[in-house]
Amino acid sequence: MSSKAGARNATDERRGMSLAKQASVVIGLVSGGVGLFFLFFPQFRPERHEPAPDQSARVYAVATNPHTTHGNFLDYADRSKLGFTKEQLAEVGASAFARIEIAGYRNKDLILERQVVNARNGDVVGKTTDLTVTPPADRVTHRWSEWIPLRPGRGSYVMVIKLLDRRPEGAIACGQTSEFGGLGGLVPAATPPHVCEGP
């Protein structure tokens, strides 16, 4: 009886090992098939959910030229003068330059907005939002430059540079120039507006 029981146990062990081998073969075939499927059809590969990067932006190193011809500005900004008349290139205005650092907004459309603010009463007297920035990497630095013609008479104005995220809507970075005057000169504001954070 003991020999028969031992033979039966040995048979059961061989059967169990055979089933385990078959299962491992099946698993291997299924895994290989799934791998080949994703190799030939990568659009169906599950995306890895990586943690959202920290998002930040800043406008810094703002420099102001309060009395600059349009032609001089184009030279400073390394832009072409083709298509402008002598009168247009000789027009006097104010120019500004700044650096914009963006982090965590890769492949997302952001808007650069420029405002002109009357520093004596705080009114916005000019605004453009015609430049879209789409960072190609997680961290980029963008050089910004702008020129505007001086307004008639005397006065005090500042340019404000804002980086806007439309979703959700709002400014994620802001910087402003020092005061500059009109064609008739500068009348410094008693308390210039601080549109942006910082000193």
CB-based contact 68:94 (threshold 8 Å): yes
Quote the mean pLDDT of the chain.
Answer: 83
Structure confidence at residue 131 (pLDDT): 86
What residue ranges of the chain have pLDDT lower than 50?
Answer: 38
Predicted pLDDT at 159: 96
> pTM of the predicted model, to two decimals?
0.70
The C-alpha atoms of residue 142 and residue 140 are separated, in whole angstroms, by 7
The Cα–Cα gap between 83 and 87 comes to 12
pLDDT of residue 151: 96
Residues sharing a CB contact under 8 Å with residue 102, sequence separation 6 or more, in sequence order: 56, 57, 110, 133, 135, 139, 140, 141, 142, 163, 173
CA–CA dist 17, 10 (Å, integer): 11
Q: Which residues contact 28 (CB under 8 A, 6 or more apart)?
A: none
Residue 22: per-residue pLDDT = 59
Q: Taking the CB of residue 132, how many other CB atoms lie within 10 A of it?
A: 10
CATH topology classification for 56-186: Immunoglobulin-like (2.60.40)
Q: What residue ranges do the domains of the chain occupy? A: 2-44, 56-186
What tokens appear for 158 in the block? 């500042």
Q: How many CB atoms lie within 10 A of CB 57?
A: 20
Extract the tokens encoding 114.
């420029």
Cross-strand bridge partners of residue 117: 124, 158
Helix, strand, coil % in the chain, rounded to nearest 5 = 25, 40, 35
pLDDT of residue 19: 55
Please say whether the beta carbons of 174 and 160 come within 8 A.
yes
Report how many helices (DSSP H) and strands (DSSP E) the chain contains, helices first: 3, 9
Q: Measure Cα distances from 143 to 57, 61, 78 in Å.
A: 13, 10, 12
Residue 44 pLDDT: 53
pLDDT at 128: 87
Q: What is the pLDDT of residues 101-120, one digit of tens each?
A: 999 999 999 999 999 999 99
